[in-house]
Amino acid sequence: MRRQTQGDKGSDMARLLGAVAATQDIEAFEALFRHFAPRVKAYMARLAGDGQQAEELMQETMITVWNRAGTYDASRGAVSTWVFTIARNLRIDAFRRENRPAFDPNDPAFVPDDIAPADVEHDARQASEQLHRAIAALPEEQAALLRLSFFEDQSHSAIATRLNIPLGTVKSRMRLAFDKLRAAIGRSGDVS
């Protein structure tokens, strides 16, 4: 049997989420829950500690996944990416006194996408596989910065202070890492 790749796992997840959206398939949702709940809880625990609050925030995240399964858009990335954005927003609500402003695709002043996604599912599956490999191949100093930024809710200046390196170094390592990841995906969105 061939090893299951990140991309295979990703398309399994997309299929399960599709079943939840289409028929409120409880078994499909259970499979999603069994997979994502420990990951989301670990993410919450980075700020909440390993107790009831992390469990509660995980449950809120998974209930949102259940309720909003129909809004998942494969052209915006893997299911894990979508779950991450839901968890991130709930975590900000829980731990910060400030809001996280976001754009609204239904706003009349919103400028719509200029490129129609071609083979969305294939692209998304391939991109998440390529992204996974590229992240695994990053030098540790760059990967460590990404983890601090994504998990610990640390601003770049806080990261600079914590690691005792200049802010400019934090920014240039982030840029190097992001360049590599975008190159690995071979996706457009190159802007400079």
Partner 1 sequence: MTIRHHIGDDLLISYAAGSLAEGWSLAVATHLALCPACRRRLTVAEGIGGDLLETMSDDVASDKSWFSLLGRLGDPTKSSAPAARSVASVDHVGGLPEPLRSYAGGDIDTLNWKSLGRGAYHIPIRTGDGETMVRLLRIPAGKPVPEHSHGGRELTLVLSGSFVDSQSTFARGDIEDADPSLTHQPVATPDADCICLAVTDAPLKFRSWIVRAIQPFLGI
Q: 2 or 27, CB closer to partner 1?
A: 27
- CA dihedral (65, 66, 67, 69) positive or negative: positive
Q: Cβ 152 to partner 1, closest distance in Å?
A: 8
Show the site string, 5-44: x = touches partner 1 by CB under 8 A, - = not.
-x-------------xx--x-x--xx--xxx-xxxxxxx-
Interface positions, 111-140, toward partner 1 (CB under 8 A): 111-115, 127-128, 131-132, 135
Give me the least distance between CB of 21 and partner 1, in Å please: 8
Comparing CB distances to partner 1, the nearer of 2 and 36 is 36
Q: Which one of 12, 53, 66, 180 is in contact with partner 1 (CB under 8 A)?
A: 66
Rounded to whole angstroms, how far apart are CA atoms 19 and 28?
Answer: 6
Residue whose C-alpha is closest to residue 184's, from 149, 140, 135: 135
**Could you tell me if 146 and 154 are in contact, meaning their C-beta atoms sit under 8 angstroms apart?**
no
Helix (H, G, I), strand (E, B) or coil at 68: coil
Q: For residue 58, how many other CB atoms are within 10 A of its CB?
A: 24
Of 53, 126, 149, 169, the one binding partner 1 by CB under 8 A: 149
| DSSP SS3 for 174 | helix
Which residues within the stretch 68-87 sit at the binding site for partner 1 (CB under 8 A)?
Answer: 68-73, 76-85, 87
Closest CA relative to residue 131, chosen from 1, 5, 2: 5
Does 186 interact with partner 1 (rule: CB under 8 A)?
no
